[in-house]
Every structure is written in structure tokens, then in C-alpha cells.
Chains A and B, each alone.
Chain A
Amino acid sequence: MRSKIILIVLISSLAIFAQNKKEAHPNLNGISCKTCHSCDIPTKENPCIKPCPRDKMVSINQSPEEGPNVLVIDKFKSQSNIYAPVVFSHRLHAEMSGMAGGCKMCHHYNPPGQVIGCSDCHELMRKRTDVSKPDLKGAYHRQCMQCHRSWSGKVDCVSCHEPNGTNQKNKEQAITEKSSKRIHPQVITPTVLKFDTPKAGGKIVTFYHSQHIDLFGLECQSCHSNESCAKCHIKEKPASLKAKTADQKHAVCSNCHDTKSNCNMCHSSTTKEGFNHKSRTGFDNSKFHASLSCSRCHLEKTKFTGLKGDCINCHGKWTQENFDHKKTGLAFDENHSGIECAECHQEKNYSNPVCKNCHEDKSYPKNVPGKLIKKK
């Protein structure tokens, strides 16, 4: 009896917990609690948050306007006697990070709700017992230096800090003014890019950048993740591409494409045409499916194979009852309105209808089993 009660209590507490999760993190339905919490039942008092494996952590994106414009980072005021607090143009930086990874470039642990700032997790005191994550000063500087160092090659403090004793108010005003005017320009996405490669017999790779976004539904970060400012704001061009191995050069493409055996898919001696559903797959989607996004039929993200043009994959089995033939631009006459689809459509994609099953002397499209109307 007692064990039953315990069981019931346990089950109901788990149920309550599951419900609480929905309340605490309404947007985290697909994510297992174990991603962030180490114990079975995290509570407010003891959330048992795991040591932070940055890139596996949940992060929610917000738009730059939602964050503060300018922040004065003065948490260390009492500790430092060398430099004055940094006036940080938060919004400008948020805009800059937009293409490379958004908020999570810095706010790497960021469950829904209010954005979590650095000081929510990183301790203010360097002398501490938990050494699994850097202290606050370290955390701040690591974020800054990661980009600033690769971009300018410089690590000097005075790029961001004023020496102690300078008039902070002036600086703050100046930066606020500056960053309200100078906004990072919208990143312009190219339509098509042509790469000259050293590959014999296939020197040219024509890359339809806009199709990858608009048709295949890739996000900027799918390819440009963790790119720092230096990617565009490069001071001197490195001889980097030459030094890269073939694997490194193909790394981004091979996320989706087989780059090991299928060279001709991208490499050619001439400029290639962009993606065309009919010529690539044999299924002409321009007649009835032109306005659909790829994902309406290709349900698995970034996988576009396997449908083979079979209508049944998406539509189920059509019958006279469930298919309105008028949509195709043909309204049957009385004689034809009751017959099975397969009497005329012998191919599985319902193309090239035939009449010969009943009428030896007739053929489509010379003869029409009804009236041609405007497509619906």
C-alpha cells in the first residue's frame, strides 16, 4: 500500500514538473531537460544547471532593437584602478553579429524570457571555488577579444578602455550619439557567385547564393556560423585559400552535398544554370506546384530526395470523389465524369492521359473529354 502511495506521489510530481517546464520555458518543447539540467527535478532553488558546453546550449534570438543601445560596464569599478569602465555600444554589436550567429554569439546560454546577461552566471570575484567557467572579467574580455583580436590583430586595452580619471559622461554621450547614427549596414546577399577553382576539367563552380536561402531555406548561420568581423573587414588578404585543404574548402558544402564523389554536381568547365526542378529531377513543378515552398513536400530539412515525383507521397490516393478535376483546367462532360482515374492516367504522376482504353481513334490533347476551362 505504502509503495503504491510513493509511486503515485512520484508520478504526480514528475507530471507537475513536466507541466512546470512548459511554464518556465514555453519555447523549449523539443529540448530535453537534460541538455541544461543535471538533476531529474530542477527547482528554482536548485536549478542544477550543467557546466556550460557553449555550443550545445539553448539560445533564443531577439532583434537588436530589443536590447539596450549603450551599456556602461562598471561592475569592476571598485576593483580596477587602471582603466575606466567601458562604454559598450550594444546595439551596434548586436547588429554586427546578426549574420554570424545572432545573440548567441555572446549570450550563449539564453533560455526564453528575459535575455541572460554575462553576470547572471559568471562570478564577479576571481578568487572563487567554481573554476569550470571564467569569472566575469574573463568572460567579458573573451567575448570582445575573440573578434577584436582576429579583426585588428591588436590586443591593446585602450581600444575600448579610457584610462582612469577621464570624463566618462562625455564618452558615454559620444558613443550613444555615434551608435544611434552609425548602424551596421544590412548585409547584402549576393544572387550568384562564380568561383574559380583549381580542379582540372571543372574549374568553375557557379553558386546560386539566393536560391540556397529562398528555395532551400538555409539560414545565414547554416553556413556562416562563427564567422567573425574579420571575414568581411579584412585588413590584409591572407593567402588562406591556397593553404586550405580540399576538405576544408568543401566543408560548408558537404554539410548537405556529397562532395566526395559527385564533383560534376557543382564543378563544370562552363557557368552552370541555377536549380531547375524539372531538369534536375524530371518532375516539372512549374504547372501546379510553383508557389509551394520546398518544405511543403520535402519535409525533412535540407534533404530533398526520395519523393520521385509520386503524387501519392503528398496527396494520398486520388479518386473521382476526392479530386476536383476542374482544378487542372478540364471540366469533364457527362460521359467521363464517373470513370476511374486510371482509365485515362496510366502513369503514376498522372501525366500523358490516354484514350485508347475506350476510344481507338481518339487521343489527347487532340480530343478532350469535356471542356477546357481556366485553371483554378
Chain B
Amino acid sequence: MANQSRRDFLKQAALVGTAVTGLSTKSKAAPKNSLSEDRMGVLVDTTVCIGCRKCEWACKTAHNLETPPLESYEDRSVFENRRRPDSKALTVVNEYQKNESEKIPINVKVQCMHCDHPACVSACIVGAFSKQENGSVIWDGDRCIGCRYCMVACPFQVPAFEFEKALKPDIKKCDFCFARTKDGQIPACTEICPVEAITYGRREDLVKAAHEKIKNYPHRYINRVFGESEVGGTSWLYLSSKEFEELEFPKLGKDPAPGVSEAIQHGIFAYFVPPVALYALLGGVMWINKNKKNDQETEI
């Protein structure tokens, strides 16, 4: 709650600030962090995923990113390096080799977790990030000022910045296929997955199904659903046969307060006094720069 009000305060601070510098601003209020009971999620069963990377292909195709031909995804040498989602791939699959005696490796798909209490939303001072009713955490390019606080705040290091683009770089991250789900389709990756290692459904149902699986197959799974309570719960949930930390999942508490973003904001308050004026100046300048390249968008 305290967190929420701080965020609101910061948003207002930014709005007031931009107004002070005499710039127009959006009057739309940022969407509330409303957690609908029917919000959707995805259950990732890492014991089922075969590492075919079709999800990577489908994700790129659905987002009009440069997409190599489907056949090239059969090349398994990519697993030699650990990859992270970036501005060119909103999701990646990594591979973890078990010990010698067990021949089948474990594959883990990585993307934005769509937190129930997203640190990125809290960190963003202009409200470019928002948690939608269906669970998605999405980013609005028109509002973003490119400060990259979200990147630092995210406990999963998901938001990526298009460093290679000098003009109007965007923040890129998995948007839970917001455009598709609005249309009644399911996310592209969950649609293509041949083994349905990633199941799309109501988060509540998925949590139930996950625990049912653990109960039925105690030898197959460890007794933990990653994302059920980590950082206050996430829309994407994971099942695994071994401890998540061994699969390079971050070690996180159950506390929904996004600690990292808090630290940034505290830091800002400590060094910049009074912050409002500075925000106003910085934010305003960046905003102008951005809108210059974007003048087809008419604002008030």
C-alpha cells in the first residue's frame, strides 16, 4: 500500500514537473494495478519442455521481429551459451544438462513473468508500464522517456533497451501477446508449443493444476511452484524436477515490495533535492526529444 502511494506520488510528481516546464502532457490517469480474479497466466512445465524453440520463432513472428527461418531453430548449438531475452528476442529457451547418468537435459523458457505487483510498473516514473486486467504487464512507447529504471527494477532483468537504435530506441519485453489476447487468441508461444509445456489459462486454475501434478507425481517434481508467491506472485508459473536456483532462477522472497526499485527511488531522493524540479527538467527534455521523431502523434 505504501508502495502504491509512493508510486502515485512519483507519477504525479512527474506530471506536475512536466507541466511546470510548460510542456503538454497526457491527462490520462495511469491504469490501476487491479488484480482480477480471472487474470490469465501460463504454467511452464520444465519437465515437459523439449527445447525445440518453436516458441521463440512464434514470438518473433507474432511481434514482427526479424525472424530466421523455422528450420534454423533445429540447431541446438545455441544452448552452449546462456541467453537472456533482449530487444531482438522477447523470449529465449536455455538448456541445463543434468548429470551424466540422466541423459535428458532440462530446458527452461525465459520471458517476462508478468508479476502481480510488478517492479517495472512501480519504477517507471511516467507510468509507461501498466498491469492489465488480464494479467499482462505492458509498455507504452508514447509515455516512455527512456530512463531505463524498469530495467534496473525488474527482479528478473527482463526489460531490454534497443541500444543498437540511435533514434527512438524502445524498451522491449514480452507483452503476453496483449494484441492477440485482446483479439481472443492465445499467446503465440503457447499456441505453437508442440508438447504444451506452456499452458495458458486462468492463473488460479493453473496454480491448482500445478499442485495437483506435484501431488500425483512426487518423484517427478519438487514441491514448489515458482511464481506462486515469489515477489508477491507472477502470472507465469514454473514446475521443475530440481531446485529452481540450480536452473538459474533468481533467489527471491515472497515480499511483493519490489526492493530494487525502492532502492533507486530512495537513492534519487537522497541525491537529488528537491527531486521534482529535476525530474521535470530531465523528463521534459527526453520527452521532447522523443516526440520530435514522432510528430505524427498529435498531443494536446
Contacts and interface: CB of A to CB of B under 8 A. Distances in A.
Nearest to A139: B196
Contacts of B200: 126-127
Given A126-B196, A137-B194, A142 B103 contact: no
Nearest to B43: A131
Interface in A152-196: 153, 155-157
B74 A238 contact: no
B195 A141 contact: yes
A243 B103 CA distance: 12
Interface string A205-247: 0000000000000000000000000100000001110011000
B199 A142 contact: no
Interface in A112-163: 126-129, 131-132, 134-135, 137-139, 141-142, 145, 149-150, 153, 155-157
Interface stretch (B160-168, B201-209, B276-284, B285-293): B201-209
B48 A239 contact: no
A77 interface: no
A129 B194 contact: no
Interface string B184-225: 011000110111110111100110110010001100000000
Interface residues of B, number: 32
A51 interface: yes
A145 B209 CA distance: 22
B51 interface: yes
B67 to A, nearest CB: 13
B186 A127 contact: yes
A240 B197 CA distance: 27
B30 interface: no
B20 interface: no
Contacts of A139: 196
B70 interface: yes
A238 B103 contact: yes
Nearest to B75: A156
B194 A141 contact: yes
Contacts of B209: 131-132
B101 A142 contact: no
A142 B99 contact: no
Contacts of A128: 201
B196 A145 contact: no
A138 B196 contact: yes
A137 B100 CA distance: 31
Contacts of B190: 126
A375 interface: no
A138 B99 contact: no
A238 B195 CA distance: 27
A137 B158 CA distance: 30
Interface in B34-78: 43, 48, 50-52, 70, 74
A82 interface: yes
B104 A137 contact: no
Contact of A155 (B50, B101, B186): B50
A149 B196 CA distance: 16
A135 B196 contact: yes
A53 interface: yes
A299 B191 CA distance: 53
Contacts, number: 77
A54 interface: yes
A51 B186 contact: no
Contact of A149 (B104, B201, B216): B104
B48 A142 contact: yes
B205 A129 contact: yes
A127 to B, nearest CB: 5
A138 B194 contact: yes
B216 A239 contact: no
Contacts of B205: 129, 131-132
Nearest to B71: A158
Nearest to B194: A141
A364 B191 CA distance: 86
A312 B52 CA distance: 65
Residue among B99, B101, B185, B212 with max Cβ neighbours from chain A (10 Å): B101
A239 B70 CA distance: 35
Contacts of B43: 131
Contacts of A82: 70
B212 A244 contact: no
A97 to B, nearest CB: 19
A65 to B, nearest CB: 30
B212 to A, nearest CB: 6
Contacts of B202: 129, 131
Contacts of B186: 126-127
Contacts of A157: 52, 74, 194
A138 B195 contact: yes
Interface in B127-146: none
Contact of A153 (B101, B103, B195): B103
A300 to B, nearest CB: 26
B144 to A, nearest CB: 31
Nearest to B216: A53
Given A54-B216, A131-B206, A141-B195, A238 B104 contact: no
Contacts of B70: 82
Interface string B158-178: 000000000000000000000
A238 B101 contact: yes
Contacts of A129: 201-202, 205
Contact of A126 (B100, B191, B206, B212): B191
Interface in B70-106: 70, 74, 99-101, 103-104
A138 B52 contact: no
B49 to A, nearest CB: 10
B254 to A, nearest CB: 24
Given A138-B197, A240-B100, 8 more contacts: A126-B191, A129-B202, A131-B209, A134-B199, A135-B196, A141-B196, A157-B194, A238-B100
11 contacts: A126-B200, A129-B205, A131-B43, A131-B201, A138-B193, A153-B103, A155-B50, A155-B74, A156-B74, A240-B100, A240-B101
